[in-house]
Every structure is written in structure tokens, then in C-alpha cells.
A and B are shown apart, each in its own frame.
Chain A
């Protein structure tokens, strides 16, 4: 293909002045050469120089310039638009749109060929969508699995300590649960944790949030588990242990850090695909996905709670009781419906109830 030679009439700018000049260009295998066209007065011929003429009379043709192709910096070839050819002396040659020479010079790279064809571009689109979908399903998890071990545990602890300070100072009030019950719960949990979560430095703290005390519990990456009074008062001791098993599951699987790593990956991917359009769109897509990962993490933590129930021979239905009480608490606070799943940080309560019931039935009655 390269051995073919092309001729064209092009616009030339010398890079010194912005005045355009018409030139006749010839592109051969290794060289590009051109001369003013129509020729300046000295030139006698009124016909464009033939290749033979150009080749033969090179030194004598006035204004002839010759460059090796290697020295040229050629812009990409796009259909319908002239191709700029940067010359080593600072000049520029614009090869007219849709001239074969432009394509021969600037259209040979893989990307320009992809861009110039709709079929290829659509293949690229499919590949792009597949890549994004893969990243969403597998890639983000893979990234987290690969990257998480690289994140030192000290970071979890440092972040957790910091958050613990903040929450304690700003949001939480001292617990009003009777000290005796606190002590009993703490002691029982420590025994259980030693068996079910060996090697995890877990610490239980009681606190109040708001007037009702707060029907909730949460774990920080440094291993501190917060149990809010509303929940402590409503739940039985067994149920509290199941809830703590769930929260300890978050710590064990380092969900907070995984969340962070996956979140960074997601924002990066969304930024590449959508960022050109809008960072707002990109980050909202990313947050919706992050919520989904969050729901999956909750399911993983629920499984840990179930494991604790089995291992410690708590009643099989313990977790079912927790979800029922949680549902009641939510109703008391005015959440009558489930909301929209993809906008929630937790799985729907009906799903959690269902899977707790199933787990209770499947549990071995003897053990």
C-alpha cells in the first residue's frame, strides 16, 4: 500500500506568515514533495508536473520542497475534514478532505480505522459496555480483593478511632441501660467473640442516640461495636448476640475499607465513561452502585450472625425475632413501606426475614 504514490493540490502555510499558498503535492513511498501551484512565473509549463518530471527535474524546479515521510507529523484522518501535515521546518500542509493522500498519511492507525467505521465503533461500544458491566459485577470485587490486603490494618484502626471520637463527641449520649445488664451483655459477648471471631479485637460500647435511644447498632473498622439503647432495651440477650454477630461480621470482612476501595474504583470508571458528560451524573451512578455493594455486604454480615447463632446454639429463630422487632421499630418511626431497593443501604427487611426463616428451618435441630 505504501509503495503507491499520490498527488493532490493542497494548502501550504510556511509557519512564518499565515498566508496560504496553493501547492501541488506528491507523496511517494518515502518522501513527500511539493511545489507552488500554479507554478511561479519562472516555470514554463502550464501542466502539473508529471511524476517523471518531478523526479527528473527536481533540482531545477523552482520552489520545490522535499521531506522524508519520517519527519512529518500527521494529524489523524477523519472523513470529510482536511488532514494537517506538520513539516519539520514549521510549515503545515493541509491535504484536502477525502483525498486518498490524507488517508494514506493519517488514516493507517488502528484507532483511526476504528473511528472511521460504524461497524467497528459499535463493536467498541459493545466492548465498552461489557467492560463496564464486568467491572461492576466482578472487577470491583476483584479490585477490592486484590487491594484490600495491601491496605494495612492500622489504617482501619486509625480511621475507626477517628470516627469513634467524632461520633462519641457529636452524636452519641451516654447509655442509660442498667450497668448490670451492660456488664452481663459485655461479658457474654466477649466469650462468644473469642470462639466465633478469634483474632478479632472487638470492643462493645453502649450509647444513646436521640430521644428514643435509637434502634440500631453499628461497627467501626477499628473493631468497636456500638449498641444503641433503643435496641438494647427491645431485644433479648440472645437477639443482642445475633446483632453483634452481624456487626462483628462487618469488622471481620473489613467492609468499610472494601467499600472505600470499591468506591474509588467505581468513581474512576464512571468518571472515564461519563465524566466527559458530567461529574454529577458519574458520581450519582457510582453511589447507586456503591449502595448495591453495601447491600451485599449486609447480606454477608447476616450470614455471620447466622453462623454465630448455630455455633453458640442460640434458638434458630433468633434472627427472625430481630428482624420482626426492627420492622416494628421502623413502623413506629413512620417508615411504613420498604422504599426502593436500589436506593437503600440495606436489603429490604422482608428479604432478610425470609432468609432468616429459611436459615432457621435448615438449621440442624440437634446441634
Chain B
């Protein structure tokens, strides 16, 4: 699940080949063709949505379920037969398969990650999680020591994973990239990390339920903001070749997204609860005592229904929110259009097939979802993408010391 989420989110993200940097005075990007950037865009970033871009280029996904099925089977078999070691190679294959079947202006993306680093990253992440998960059971001291380790290295690891993902993704022979100062890394990742750990830390310290409850509430209220910060962090420091991405954080829209979700959750939970109650009543009449067993599944079923309804809405809105506010130097913007309903239909219909086939249909479903999500993105530019020549970020030479140090963390920690 985790992996999936990360990857799918990544894919549409990776392709960001081209949106616009509307700020007239300080284009962050050494674009080759300066003419592109500015003259008409006096209004600055806020107005960019109103300025029609002349050229639209939609992402295209050409992978088929039948091919992914074979890849999935071979990957799973080899992973199992090697007791998990092969999973890193499997992940590389999967990531490059999705990347190479994602086309922008006729050219595919590619993924170059070194499986050995993926493997190291996985072992490291597993070790961290296991230690963190049990540290407070051993002793308070161990718990806090583990927490310190997590706070100290977590953000760097996250940034490293980001660098790994983007730095190993390419389009038209140029790599994407990610570069952020240590201060930015900590400032952007710590809030979410604290939010993630605060409740368990509270419990570990033996604080009362009220204190923990208040902390949990605060986390809930601030979560959308922290999520927005993280997205801004990911998108502001990314680049394609020498072109830099930028991201304008719409705080209110992040809150709007989460409010919508809460609304959907409440409404859906209520409706599902009523339906479940009626259904169980009916079942009791038919099945007698067996019904109590069925009732056990009611909360589970309700959760399932909520997820099936909520997840498409979340994904569709989040991606739109993110991409509508992301731009790339060189006058490139993005538009993201994914009808939540078509995602919902796919998850429903094909999800059912997946369940009925005991999961064997899963690769087909994965490809359908990926296609919907990837093809929801359009790259808008002032001139045709083919005419926009982008240069590589910088010659890779032995001189780049800072890069080398940072690369110690350039591991993939996704699952």
C-alpha cells in the first residue's frame, strides 16, 4: 500500500516536464530560450491560471495489464524464492516499466535507480521502523534515543529518497533532480514527523489520555498545513535538467480538501451504518445466530466502502491541487484533470474482479489506475515542448563534493 501510494503519486509527478514560471522579474531557471518566459505575464503568479497557454501536451500511458501481470508474477516469484532480497530488483523493474510506458510528447520517461541502493534503503527503513516500533516497550530511555535518531535522520532520509527518485528519473535524456538545504529539509519534514510520532510518544511518556487527546486534536487540525508544507518542499526543490520547479502553497485549499474528506467520511459512514444495520437485521431473520458473525464484518465493510468512495476523491483533488499550483521555469504549467467518478468506477468494478480472482487481477487494476492517474495530467507551455530546449543541470564531475556527502542519504526508503 505504502509503496503503491508513493509510486503512483510519483509517476505523475515525475513527468513534470514542463510548466511555466510566470514570475517576470526572477525566472529561477536558466532557460535556453529566454524569449519564452515573460513578456505577457505581467500579472505575476497569481494570474497565471487566467492566461491561456498555447500548447497543451497530455501525458500518455501505454502499458498494458497483460504485460504488467507477467512482470508482477515473475517479480513476486523471484522475490519469494530469494527470501525478499530480489524485491529491490523487482522494484526497479516495476518503476522503470511504469516510467517507460509514460510518454510525454512521444518520448518515454525512464527510471535508473540502482537496486543495491534500494535494498540498503529497505533494510535501513525496516530496521528504523522495527526499532521505533518496539523501543518504548524496552525502556523509556531506548524510546527517546530511538526518537532522537528518527528526528535526526528521518528528514535527511526522506530528502535522500526524494533525491533518489527524481535523480533517477529521466525524460529525453535529462535527469530530474532534487536539491534542498539541510535547514529546509528539517523545517519541512519535522512537522509531519512530529505529528506522526506525537501520540505514541505521549503514550510512551505515560501522559494522561487528556494530554494525548489534545495533542492528537492539535495534530489533526494542523495536519493539512503540514501536508501542504511537505508538498511544497517536494515540488519547490525539484528540477528537470536545469529548470526548477516552483510551488505556491494554497493553504486554504489544503484545508478544504481535508474538510471535504471529513464530510464524505461522516456522510458515508452514516449511510453505510444505516445500510449495515438494516442488512444485519434482515440477515438475523434469515440466518439466526450466524448473523452475529456477519455483524463482525459490518465495521470492516463500512471502512471498505468509505475507502472506495473517499480514496478517489482524495487522490483526484489532491493531485489537482498540487499540479495546479506547480510550475516549471520556462513558462511551463500543469493542469490536472482526473474525474473522481471514473477512478471510483474503476476501483469498484475492477476491485471486485480483483477480490473474486483472489488478487490475480490486481496487475490489471493497477495498470488501469495508473493510466487514469497519469493521463489526467496535461503540460501547458507557451511554445511547443519540442522547441523548448532544456540543458542538463550541471556537468557531473569529480568536483561536486557536497553532492557526494548528500548522496550518502540518497537511498530509496519507499516500500
> Which residues on the B side are within 8 Å of A19 (C-beta)?
172, 389
CA distance A75 to B96 in the complex (A): 8
| B354 x A277 contact (CB < 8 A) | yes
- Tell whether A132 pairs with B80 under 8 Å between CB atoms, given A78-B97, A115-B74, A337-B290: yes
**Interface-located stretch among B46-54, B141-149, B215-223, B390-398:** B390-398
A228 at the interface (CB under 8 A from B): no
CA distance A260 to B84 in the complex (A): 19
B93 at the interface (CB under 8 A from A): yes
CA distance A343 to B107 in the complex (A): 51
| B293 x A339 contact (CB < 8 A) | yes
Chain B residues 212-265 with CB under 8 Å of chain A are: 241
| B67 x A79 contact (CB < 8 A) | yes
| B1 x A278 contact (CB < 8 A) | yes
B55 at the interface (CB under 8 A from A): no
**Chain A interface residues (CB < 8 Å from chain B):** 11, 13-20, 73, 75-76, 78-82, 84, 86, 90-92, 94, 111, 114-116, 118, 121, 124-125, 127-128, 131-132, 268-269, 272-281, 334-337, 339-340, 343
Instruction: Specify which of A79, A80, A91, A128 is in contact with B77 (CB 8 Å cutoff).
Output: A128
| A273 x B76 contact (CB < 8 A) | yes
- Give A60 Cβ to nearest chain B Cβ, in Å: 27
| B288 x A276 contact (CB < 8 A) | no
| B359 x A13 contact (CB < 8 A) | no
Instruction: Specify which of B3, B67, B70, B170 is in contact with A275 (CB 8 Å cutoff).
Output: B3
- Give B10 Cβ to nearest chain A Cβ, in Å: 15
**Chain B interface residues (CB < 8 Å from chain A):** 1-4, 32, 62, 67, 69-74, 76-81, 84, 87, 93, 96-97, 100-101, 107-108, 110, 112, 170-174, 241, 288-290, 293, 354, 359, 362, 366, 389-392, 396, 415
Instruction: Specify which of B74, B87, B288 is in contact with A272 (CB 8 Å cutoff).
Output: B87
CA distance A79 to B415 in the complex (A): 28
Q: A-B pairs with CB below 8 Å: how many?
A: 131
Which 3 residue pairs spanning A and B have beta carbons closest together? A13-B173, A18-B172, A121-B70
CA distance A278 to B107 in the complex (A): 31
Most B CB within 10 A of own CB, among A14, A75, A131, A281: A75
- Tell whether A269 pairs with B174 under 8 Å between CB atoms, given A114-B74, A276-B72: no
- Give A299 Cβ to nearest chain B Cβ, in Å: 22
| B392 x A276 contact (CB < 8 A) | no
| A17 x B73 contact (CB < 8 A) | no
> 8 A-B Cβ contacts within 8 A?
A82-B100, A91-B173, A115-B74, A125-B73, A279-B1, A337-B288, A339-B290, A343-B293
| B101 x A81 contact (CB < 8 A) | yes
